[in-house]
Amino acid sequence: MKVLVANTAGFCKGVRDAIDITLEAIQKRSHNESICTYGPLIHNRQVLATLEEKGIHAVSRIEDCAEKKVVIRAHGIPPQDRHTLHQLGATLLDATCKRVARVHAAIKQHARRGFHTIIAGDADHAEVIGLIGYAEGRGHVVNRPEQIDELPVHWDKVLLVAQTTQNEEVFRRIQDRFTRRYPHGVVKNTICGSTHERQAEVRRLCERVEAMVVVGGYHSGNTVRLSEVAREAAIPTYHIETPADLNRQEMARYNLVGVSAGASTPSWIIRDVVQFLESIEPENGDYRLRLRRGLGTMAYANGWVPLAALMLSFAARALTGLPGTFASGLMAALYLFAMHSFNAYVDRGAVELNEPGRAAFYQRWKNVLAILSVGAAAGALWLSTDLGIPVFLAMLVLVTLGFLYAGPRILPHTLRDLPLVKLREIPTSKTLFVPLAWAVMLVLLPHLPSLLDGFGRVVFGSWVVFLLVFLRTALLDLAAVRGDRLVGKETLAVTIGEARTVGVLWGAVGVLILSLVAGPFVGLGTGFAILLLPAVAAFGWMLRESCSSRFKEEPLFETFAESILMGSGLLGLMWLGVAG
């Protein structure tokens, strides 16, 4: 089945900020500190369950917040509740969405001037309850145009606002009735811009697809509104929370399905739904879907890693002009496959959040993957013996370090406090250790016996390989940042944030371009360095696309990243063939 995913699907900025504030509080929490959220942080059961596992409980009674650090949820709370929390000795972390806070301010400003406030929304929704609190007892909630006529006609000061996730078409009809009844009333369309974009995109998608799947909590107001918008377009619409809510046989009737999601829906749940839909063979199947699934399976099995490593070994030889063998490239490929597969499996907690399809694949094939990982590591050790005892000993150390990186999950409790086992706890460790391992395996280790003979070229080659793989790794980590943060995985994006990571990556692109241009001129590399510039440009394109794409974590994104390295290796192989 072909699936079109809305670009606007997933967390809105307000929800992202609320989760980030909560995760930061968890990270900085002292030993005896108690943290809770007053009401559910967002309307998504899966995220709330993850926070519960980390000791962040949602409380419904305000008395239970006494003397605690309290996260004010994205929907906001009434001012009287805020005052009560202060009286109870609570420390507040305000995660109220900034757009909701602006509606608070507008209602408060007009209430002080004696205005009645009409709120177009759901009376029992958390956001609306908070908005009413700022109306100084003159607040009224409507969700149908006819309800405007039930209000007193003699009001001379009336303000109309909207719940930020209100259906735009419904608000327009309420506004029309309001302006007729209160010609001098004030109207503020406070529907969030994100809500506007989501609803508009759903309308556009409905013109192209046969059915629409909307993912999000059943109690999420903005998700319900998206479902209403899709149904108004008169196409089959399915509001679901997880793929388990879909019937495979029923969905097989469609060849092209659209997917959108509410502002509280994590990207990993959306991706799980997308992958479920793509796994369905429509009644008139498409070979492109089978090809897509095949590429995905290769990515899940880390099949691209050894191919990329082997091919990149040719690029490294062409870049430095130093001698090398196929065996040394195969040694690197086996080692990197072993380490990637093993660490990905033991990190399946983060994988389950970021890529449920991959997690299911690991669970199904865990024994095979474990055997292949150990066998590949043994093969790398065996090949290293042909390069001399120093290389073998270095490889033995690298294999040990690679397995110790996953130590906290595989070692007995008595050994988990060893310094080497704490490697994964170093900030940015994953993002930096992966390209470092590639550089060592592809350039440094094969030339260890004769390191002094071409030291400058080895350093230059290692630097270029490090930067290339750093771009590849950081892009994939940037894509998985939300799930990594929830499970405490140490990546660059988790440590410094998404915006700064993007800046670092653009800086790395610039540094790599300068290195490739300057290397041949100072005698550290061959003219092949210029042929690597398209690879840098491809990573730059991926970075630009990743900033706007919600689903850059999917297997095809990873496949494209690895294909850049494989393409560089193919150019290197051709260069060596011509030069040889």
Give residue 79's identity as a one-letter amino acid code.
Answer: P
Q: Range(s) for CATH 3.40.50.11270 in the chain?
A: 14-96
Summarize pLDDT for 139-192 with one digit per residue, the tens: 999 999 999 999 999 998 999 999 998 888 899 999 999 999 999 999 999 998
Q: Residue 240: which H helix or E strand, with range? A: strand 237-240
SS3 assignment, position 157 = coil
List CB contacts of 557: < 8 A, sequence separation 6 or more.
476, 479, 542, 546, 549, 551
Summarize pLDDT for 430-460 with one digit per residue, the tens: 788 889 999 999 999 999 888 888 899 999 9
- What kind of architecture, by CATH, is found in domain 100-191? 3-Layer(aba) Sandwich (3.40)
Distance CA 2, CA 369 (A): 30
Q: Under a CB-based contact definition with an 8 Å cutoff, are residues 228 and 206 in contact?
A: no
> CA nearest 93: which of 39, 50, 36, 145?
36
244-273: average pLDDT: 86
CA–centroid distance for 547 within its chain: 11
DSSP letters, 381-393, are: HHHHGGG-HHHHH
**b/e map 494-530, b = 16+ CB within 10 Å:** beeebeebbebbeebbeebbebbeebbeeebbbebbe
Residue 352 is a catalytic residue: no
Query: pLDDT > 70: what percent of the chain?
Result: 87
Q: Under a CB-based contact definition with an 8 Å cutoff, are residues 211 and 254 in contact?
A: yes
What sign does the dihedral 326-330-332-333 (CA atoms) show? positive
CA triple 70-71-73, angle to 5 deg: 135
Summarize pLDDT for 470-518 with one digit per residue, the tens: 999 888 877 766 555 555 556 777 777 778 888 999 999 999 999 999 9
Dihedral, CA atoms, 506, 511, 512, 516, nearest 10 degrees?
150
Q: For the domain 194-290, what is the CATH code?
A: 3.40.1010.20
Domain 14-96, CATH among 3.40.50.11270, 2.40.110.10, 3.20.130.10, 2.30.110.10: 3.40.50.11270
Structure tokens at 382: 């065996």
Q: Range(s) for CATH 3.40.1010.20 in the chain?
A: 100-191, 194-290
pLDDT of 323 > 80? The answer is: yes
Q: What is the 3-state secondary structure (H, E, C) of 109-120?
A: HHHCCCCEEEEE
Distance CA 458, CA 435 (A): 15
Distance CA 241, CA 143 (A): 24
Binned at pLDDT 50, 70 and 90, residue 356 comes out as low
Given the residues 33, 52, 127, 207, select the one marked as catalytic.
127
Summarize pLDDT for 527-555 with one digit per residue, the tens: 999 999 999 999 999 888 776 654 544 56
